[in-house]
């Protein structure tokens, strides 16, 4: 792997890290507004009647989507690091 390939991979890693932190912050804002640690906890609170279904369910869906995106991004970053090192 030549120097230009390494630099390009570093740029991609930095881009993906930035996106990871942006998404994580969005997720944390949603979760903290309901005083929970996961989207599943939001859903359980809705099911128990502790939170109103609307608009909480939309926040649950957004948090779930963000969790899935973060998982995929984390896996991608791990692979990128392994290939770089």
Contact 39, 67 (CB under 8 A): yes
Q: Where are the domains of the chain?
A: 3-17+36-84
Work out the average pLDDT over 57-76.
Answer: 98
**36 DSSP assignment:** -
Q: What is the pLDDT of residue 4?
A: 87
Q: How many helices (H) and strands (E) does the chain have?
A: 3, 0
For the stretch 43-56, pLDDT in tens is 999 999 999 999 99
């Amino acid at each position: 792997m030549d120097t230009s390939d390494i630099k390009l991979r570093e740029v991609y890693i930095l881009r993906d890290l930035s996106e990871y932190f942006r998404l994580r912050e969005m997720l944390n804002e949603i979760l903290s507004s309901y005083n929970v640690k996961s989207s599943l906890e939001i859903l359980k609170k809705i099911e128990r009647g502790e939170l109103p279904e609307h608009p909480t369910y939309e926040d649950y869906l957004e948090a779930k989507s963000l969790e899935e995106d973060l998982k995929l991004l984390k896996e991608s970053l791990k692979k990128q690091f392994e290939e770089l090192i």
